[in-house]
């Protein structure tokens, strides 16, 4: 194991690894000797696949392998030492880990190794072994920890379902098959290949099915925290406004790669969950951005410096959904210290450009 980890550490810095594939031969008779040679290559290939999968499992499931990959990620992508945002991520990871454990207790057997890298774009990624990174730029792009939690929760969904290891095993299968009939790779080369895939997998596409699964898991995890569940849709609304999604772009190329469902569909998926969670009382009109309660207009939040009106609307919806889910609609809405409440649930804190809290509380009582 130690020898293999050293090979991974040496080989993982490669950005990509290409295999030579023999040209398609012309039709001709195959001699007994050729058949034996081809059969031997297939046997070697099968053995390599077994070895590769075993080594992937060592990286994915052993502390030594996880630590080796974690250190390589840090070396490759750089480490942001900003104390303020590191403290924020520590809190987010602690809160989400508790939320995940209520849905999937196996997280306690393999806690996440994470860090903030130095990239100023919006990104997050989870590789094998629950090794995760968040780009520094993510903290500048999103105004709230709730939205960052929604993004990180998505990546934890990938982690909990071992999507990275499964993807790498699939890639190893494809590349080994392509190599049948070509000189077999030695152990060091195999370790280099696996190491390269382990490193680049954080920017690999998992496929729409796995991305949708991670989105839905992020919702489940957020439900088990104190974060605003409306942040799930708010993130996607911001991506829609920035024209991120559907095609790979400079922003969110990991969290939102080319095989993700487009951002508008992902937003609508979360919006539907919010509507259902509110017991079908609250929603956002996606065409106008108006927050509706029982199909009646409640509020159109004003835009702020860091958040559009529509993005804020999903935060209001998240609070309303929680209030209705908990049965607080049986109580009176009221204003306190500039915030609208329904029962014990804060609904919205109006800005100077919004309708005042007292007026909104009165309206909510009329339509709830």
**Cα separation, 158 vs 127, whole angstroms:** 8
Answer yes or no: is pLDDT of 131 > 90.
yes
- Which helix H or strand E contains 323, and what residues bound it? helix 309-325
Q: Is 110 helix (H, G, I), strand (E, B) or coil?
A: coil
Site of tokens 């996440």:
112
Predicted pLDDT at 37: 43
Q: Looking at the structure, do residues 236 and 187 belong to the same domain, yes or no?
A: no
Q: Looking at the structure, do residues 167 and 41 belong to the same domain, yes or no?
A: yes
Query: Is the pLDDT higher at 169 or at 105?
Result: 105
| Both tokens assigned to 66 | 């996880």
The pLDDT of 103-131, averaged and rounded, is 95
> pLDDT confidence of 47, banded at 50, 70, 90?
confident
Predicted pLDDT at 260: 47
- Say which range, 59-68, 99-108, 230-239, 352-361, has the weakest mean pLDDT: 59-68
- Say which range, 39-43, 94-98, 139-143, 291-295, has the weakest mean pLDDT: 39-43
Which span out of 22-36, 37-51, 69-83 was modeled with the highest average pLDDT? 69-83
Asked, for residue 310, whether it belongs to a domain, the answer is yes
Backbone angles phi, psi at 299, to 5 degrees: -160, 145
67: Cβ contacts below 8 Å, ≥ 6 apart: 113
Q: Looking at the structure, do residues 188 and 332 belong to the same domain, yes or no?
A: no
> pLDDT confidence of 304, banded at 50, 70, 90?
very high
Percentage of residues in the chain with pLDDT exceeding 90? 62
Answer yes or no: is pLDDT of 257 > 80.
no
Answer yes or no: is pLDDT of 202 > 80.
no
Predicted pLDDT at 152: 97
| Both tokens assigned to 157 | 């969904």
Asked, for residue 160, whether it belongs to a domain, the answer is yes
Predicted pLDDT at 177: 53
Q: Looking at the structure, do residues 193 and 237 belong to the same domain, yes or no?
A: no
Q: Looking at the structure, do residues 40 and 178 belong to the same domain, yes or no?
A: yes
**Cα separation, 187 vs 165, whole angstroms:** 19
Predicted pLDDT at 173: 67
Answer yes or no: is pLDDT of 187 > 80.
no
Asked, for residue 222, whether it belongs to a domain, the answer is no
**228 close to 314: Cβ distance less than 8 angstroms:** no
Neighbouring-strand partners of residue 304: 307
Q: Looking at the structure, do residues 167 and 234 belong to the same domain, yes or no?
A: no
The number of CA neighbours under 13 Å toward the Cβ of 73 is 32
Answer yes or no: is pLDDT of 111 > 70.
yes
Q: 203, 222, 255 — which closes off a domain?
A: 203
Residue-number span of the structural domain to which 141 is assigned: 2-14+32-203
Asked, for residue 70, whether it belongs to a domain, the answer is yes
Predicted pLDDT at 307: 96
pTM of the model: 0.82
> pLDDT confidence of 56, banded at 50, 70, 90?
confident
Q: Looking at the structure, do residues 185 and 235 belong to the same domain, yes or no?
A: no
Strand 282-284 versus strand 291-293 pairing type: antiparallel
Predicted pLDDT at 3: 52
Asked, for residue 120, whether it belongs to a domain, the answer is yes
Asked, for residue 353, whether it belongs to a domain, the answer is yes
The pLDDT of 182-206, averaged and rounded, is 57
Distances (CA, A) of 357 to 42, 173, 299, 300, 364: 72, 60, 11, 13, 10
Answer yes or no: is pLDDT of 11 > 50.
no
Q: Looking at the structure, do residues 153 and 300 belong to the same domain, yes or no?
A: no
> pLDDT confidence of 192, banded at 50, 70, 90?
low
Q: Looking at the structure, do residues 49 and 147 belong to the same domain, yes or no?
A: yes
The pLDDT of 185-209, averaged and rounded, is 61
Q: Looking at the structure, do residues 180 and 291 belong to the same domain, yes or no?
A: no
Q: Looking at the structure, do residues 127 and 64 belong to the same domain, yes or no?
A: yes
Other CB atoms closer than 10 Å to residue 174's CB: what's the count? 11
The pLDDT of 153-173, averaged and rounded, is 88
Site of tokens 């602690």:
94
- Selection from 274, 249, 277 nearest residue 262 by Cα: 249
- Selection from 350, 339, 342, 348 nearest residue 366 by Cα: 342
Q: Looking at the structure, do residues 65 and 146 belong to the same domain, yes or no?
A: yes
Total tally of structural domains belonging to the chain: 2
């Amino acid at each position: 194991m130690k020898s293999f980890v050293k090979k991974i550490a040496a080989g993982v810095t490669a950005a990509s690894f290409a295999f030579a594939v023999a040209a398609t031969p012309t039709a001709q008779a195959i001699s007994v000797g050729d058949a034996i040679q081809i059969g031997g290559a297939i046997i070697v290939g099968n053995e390599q696949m077994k070895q590769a999968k075993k080594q992937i499992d060592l990286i994915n499931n052993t502390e030594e392998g996880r630590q080796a990959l974690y250190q390589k990620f840090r070396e490759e992508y750089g480490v942001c030492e900003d104390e303020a945002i590191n403290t924020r991520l520590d809190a987010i990871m602690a809160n989400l880990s508790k939320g995940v454990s209520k849905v999937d207790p196996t997280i306690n057997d393999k806690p996440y190794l994470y860090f903030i890298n130095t990239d100023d774009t919006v990104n997050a990624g989870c590789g094998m072994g629950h090794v995760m990174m968040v780009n520094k730029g993510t903290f500048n792009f999103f105004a709230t920890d709730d939205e960052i939690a929604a993004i990180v929760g998505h990546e934890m969904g990938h982690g909990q379902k071992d999507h990275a290891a499964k993807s790498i095993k699939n890639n190893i299968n494809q590349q080994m098959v392509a190599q049948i009939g070509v000189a077999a790779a030695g152990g060091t080369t195999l370790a280099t290949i696996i190491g390269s895939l382990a490193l680049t997998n954080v920017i690999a596409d998992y496929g729409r099915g796995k991305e949708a699964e991670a989105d839905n898991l992020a919702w489940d995890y957020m439900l088990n925290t104190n974060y605003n569940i409306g942040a799930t849709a708010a993130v996607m609304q911001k991506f829609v406004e920035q024209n991120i999604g559907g095609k790979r772009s400079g922003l969110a190329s990991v969290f939102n790669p080319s095989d993700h469902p487009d951002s508008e569909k992902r937003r609508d998926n979360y919006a539907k969950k919010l509507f259902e969670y509110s017991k079908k009382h609250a929603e956002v009109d996606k065409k106008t951005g108006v927050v509706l309660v029982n199909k009646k207009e409640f509020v159109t939040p004003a835009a702020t410096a860091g958040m559009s009106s529509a993005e804020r609307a999903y935060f209001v919806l998240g609070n309303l959904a929680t209030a209705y889910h908990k049965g607080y609609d049986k109580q009176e809405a009221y204003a306190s210290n500039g915030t609208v409440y329904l029962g014990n649930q804060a609904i919205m804190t109006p800005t100077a450009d919004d309708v005042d809290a007292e007026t909104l509380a009165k309206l909510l009582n009329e339509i709830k």
